[in-house]
Structure 1
Amino acid sequence: MKSTVVDKAENGWTAAVRQRRGALLQRIALGCAVALVVTPMVGVWFSLSWVVLYVACQGVELVVFGPVARGDRGEMSTARKVAGCIALAVSATVFGGLSLIMWQIGGPLGGVCAALMLPAIMLSSMTTAARCQPMMIASLAPQVLYLLTTPFFAYAFGAPAPLVMTAAATVVLYAFYVVITWQRISDTTTNLSRAHAEAEDLRLKAEHSLADHTAFLAAVGHDLRTPIGAILTGAAELRAPDSQSRASANLITDAGLMMKALLDDLLDHSRIGAGRMTVEASDFDLRQMLAQTLQLWRGMADAKGLKLRVEGANGVPRRVKGDVMRIRQVLNNLMSNAMKFTEEGQITLRVQAWSEEPSGYALLFEIVDTGPGMTT
């Protein structure tokens, strides 16, 4: 199972490339917004030139990682990985290079803007390079280097030495924070990907198991249809002029038909697998169904010395519409339980019926036996 999970889970390169591809428009929009913000400082033509260069870098990255972003399942070649890292580093260099211009033209205030911009870009690069250390280094290294120039520019603009040292230490600590956070995000993403792959693997195994189970039941059903057909045929040939023989043959026929209907339901896996069981309403003789149910269990009752009775059959309508097979299934389950736990006395099937709107009947079946019942 472990090897299956590894095959299905995306590797770090694939996940990072697709994540960056999904954030492409966001990066371009961010670059345009930054260019618009610094236009009063650097001028319109410089801003437009910078935006064109940055968008071109994004285009190169898109071309290099294009097959992976489009869903190519093949392993990335080493050359493509190297080219991709170079494209990331150039893109980060172009974006971060704007901070140097902001320091040189804007002075300390421009440096404040640069110090706010670079950490935001670092966080964005960190989140889009999760699980891929080479991509993280390529996209973060230029930003970290630009951020490390902060104490030098501060010193050049006359900041006191203690403040310069504090700024340098802050930059180093922030870089460590970004790396640690990236590691945690990568671990979380890896665990989520592995869990998803394991869930998918379990789903496929369940589907295969269900397919095998269905095939097994189909084979069993095919094997059972033959003896059931023989029972029905033999019962038809056993019909004799005397009433006792006809009653026995009818009992065999009725039991065989019920077995065949239950087998058909068992083989209907489209409903069982989906957790649905349809109810098929058809006209049937309710009194005859009750008589057939009692006749099916009378032999066992006689063998155990039990009396088998029915109450209320004369008070129910004869012709009704419903799912006779489902009703018989319920009654047989109840009768089976009563037979199992009743050693002496009698078992009574009580039935009541009353009309319900708009044009139907409600039926109440009760199985009363003289067994011990449930104990606490």
Structure 2
Amino acid sequence: MRDAIFIGIAKSRVKGLRTRLGLAGFLGGTAMLLEPSIWPVVWFLVYFVSQIIDNNLFKAALKNPKKQGDEAKFIIAIALSTLIFSAMSAYTWIFGGEEGRIFAVISICGALLHVTLQLYNRRTYLFAGLLPHALYLLFLPSVTAVIEPGHNSFTLFIVNVGTFVFLGNLAWAVRQNNQSLLDLKVAKDEAQEARKLAENESAAKTNFLAVITHEIRTPMNAVLSAANLLKRTPLNDEQSDHVRMLSNASEVLMGLLNDVLDISKIEAGKMSIERAAIDLKDLVTGVGQLWSPQAQIKNVRLLLEIEDDLPSQIMIDPLRLRQILFNLLSNAVKFTAKGLIIVRVYRLPNASGHTELRFDVEDQGIGIAGDQLERIFSSFEQADAGTTRRYGGTGLGLAISRKLAQLMGGDISVRSSLGHGSCFSLSLPYDSLLLTAIDMPEGFDAVEADEAPAEGPRTILIVDDHEVNRRIVSLFVQPLGWRWVMAENGQQAVDLCRSEAFDIILMDMQMPVMGGIEATKLIRNQDGPNQDTPIVALTANAMEHHQKAWAEAGVEDFLAKPIDPDLLINTLIAKSRINPLRAAA
């Protein structure tokens, strides 16, 4: 702290050199007007030399503050500087008449104020600067009153009284200023402590989300996967209904989990927007087809109105656009008991004169009161508590959707009439989305999930510490006719990869003995038959920093639990290949 204060004073002294010399020139010039002589010139030259010495002394200390040496030399330099400066005020007091005395008092008071502002935070330096000025201001009137007794004695006495009042006020101001600085320092320390605490709490929140995500996804993987496997078995109507309810409830739980993760990433500024070429009409039609069955169950008609001359291809984040439209349609179906839901896609000019894409989702549902329209876009908020009790939900869908739209350069607005329905409008910049030409890479062919590779059965290494998860994956790949080998932790996987070649490896993340990321790095770095074998991360740790860690380890792809069986099969077929070493054997 003392070093920081000294550095501040030294910088101020070096920076204020020209100002001090300018004031000295003005003071000397005024003295020449009041009483012309050679002495103001001599005084200015002496003061100039003292300031050069002062400047060099503090400039040298700035270059190496830790070796500033004895503090006495800096105190002497400051005291000498102020002593010489106010000597000219003494000259004008003695030789300048009444005007000179008034000027002397004003100039010394100004010098006192200047020194106080510059040196207030180092008491020894402050006294060194104040004492010479104060002595001049006190002794000049006192000595004059002794030497020149008479009618001016009372005036000189009043000057001394005024001097004490001025110095007292100056001392009070310094004390108050120091107290303010102390309060600011305490406040700064408290703010830093609060910031550190907030950062720790944020890190704890992130860690909690990572843990809870993993812990929820792991059992949900078993539930959803078991439901998917049951669908493939012969079931009577009652059993099919039970499995459907099981699947629907599981998907709702996963949706809630994903919403919480999304809002956390957005608030932390870690949500990234991707750009990819998509077929706009196919995407909108696909989202509509997802919600059409639910609408039909409620006897609600779902219509899609897509402008004919829309571009067939656009550049956008398909996942986030689909997520926004999914949320808007979800709300429309949820809050519409009868009538019609219309999804319109068209273009229109915006306020800046550019053309933008507009997606309207209009329903004839319960509607929203005017004073609640903005509230529905706040996290964990719905129009009122009764809505939450009757229809359920976390109130995150619209908040996430608007924030995603804003990250994509657009926005979501709403107009509604209570009891008559609502219309949510998603607008996205058209110029940044238009793709004039889309060319598929040469040799690109889509892989169908039910197309088994022509080279023959392949061998897959399934690495997971949960027996149920290993069993589920084996059942999913069973229709492919593939052979599988199982490992309970990363160390077993590394050992197996030294002796046997695999066509693809499915790797979990958190496992006892050795985790998946460490195991992946060892497999990639060891000389063995699986150094180049595709490794696919299959884990309940689905946050963005987990995916980044997997990518740095060298995985080919990332799949989050619960397992989507179709996505798993497509990924296995697309990523696997006959290992050259295994084929040669």
Could you tell me the TM-score, scaled by structure 2's length?
A: 0.47
Equivalent position to 1:22, from 11, 20, 41: 11
In structure 2, what is the equivalent of residue 146 of structure 1? 136
Query: Which of the pair has the greater relative contact order for Cα pairs under 8 Å at 6+ separation?
Result: 1
Task: Give, as a single letter, the amino acid of the residue that structure 1 aligns with 2:154.
Answer: P
Distance 1:173 1:364, change over 3 A: same
> Secondary structure of 2:364's partner?
strand
Q: Which runs of 5+ in 2 are unaligned?
A: 370-382, 384-417, 419-585
Task: Give, as a single letter, the amino acid of the residue that structure 2 aligns with 1:325.
Answer: Q
Coordinate RMSD, CA, aligned: 4.8
**Match status 1:163 vs 2:126:** no
**Match status 1:362 vs 2:353:** no
Task: Give, as a single letter, the amino acid of the residue that structure 2 aligns with 1:22.
Answer: K
1:46-125 correspondence runs (5 A): 46-60=43-57, 66=61, 84-104=74-94, 106=96, 109-125=99-115
Cα distance in structure 1, aligned partners of 2:355 and 2:91 = 87
Equivalent position to 2:207, from 191, 212, 215: 215
Task: Give, as a single letter, the amino acid of the residue that structure 1 aligns with 2:197.
Answer: K
Task: Give, as a single letter, the amino acid of the residue that structure 2 aligns with 1:52.
Answer: V
Could you tell me the TM-score, scaled by structure 1's length?
A: 0.69
Structure with the larger helix share: 1
In structure 1, what is the equivalent of residue 22 of structure 2? 33
User: Does 266-275 or 114-123 show the bigger shift?
Assistant: 266-275
In structure 1, what is the equivalent of residue 232 of structure 2? 239
In structure 1, what is the equivalent of residue 196 of structure 2? 204
In structure 1, what is the equivalent of residue 267 of structure 2? 272
In structure 2, what is the equivalent of residue 4 of structure 1? none
In structure 2, what is the equivalent of residue 312 of structure 1? 303
CA contact (8 A) 2:89 2:104 kept: yes
> Secondary structure of 1:312's partner?
strand
Cα distance in structure 2, aligned partners of 1:31 and 1:359 = 62
> Secondary structure of 1:274's partner?
coil
Distance 1:309 1:267, change over 3 A: closer
Distance 1:332 1:312, change over 3 A: closer
Q: Which runs of 5+ in 1 are unaligned?
A: 1-10
CA contact (8 A) 1:103 1:153 kept: no
Distance 1:46 1:95, change over 3 A: closer
In structure 2, what is the equivalent of residue 186 of structure 1? 178
Task: Give, as a single letter, the amino acid of the residue that structure 1 aligns with 2:261.
Answer: L
Distance 1:257 1:102, change over 3 A: same
Cα distance in structure 2, aligned partners of 1:210 and 1:46 = 64
Cα distance in structure 2, aligned partners of 1:151 and 1:132 = 29
In structure 2, what is the equivalent of residue 292 of structure 1? 290
Distance 1:258 1:366, change over 3 A: farther
CA contact (8 A) 2:116 2:130 kept: yes
Cα distance in structure 1, aligned partners of 2:368 and 2:95 = 98
> Secondary structure of 1:209's partner?
helix
Q: Percent of pairs identical after alignment?
A: 17
Q: CA deviation at 1:151?
A: 0.9
In structure 2, what is the equivalent of residue 329 of structure 1? 327
Q: CA deviation at 1:324?
A: 0.7
> Secondary structure of 1:128's partner?
helix
Q: CA deviation at 1:132?
A: 4.0
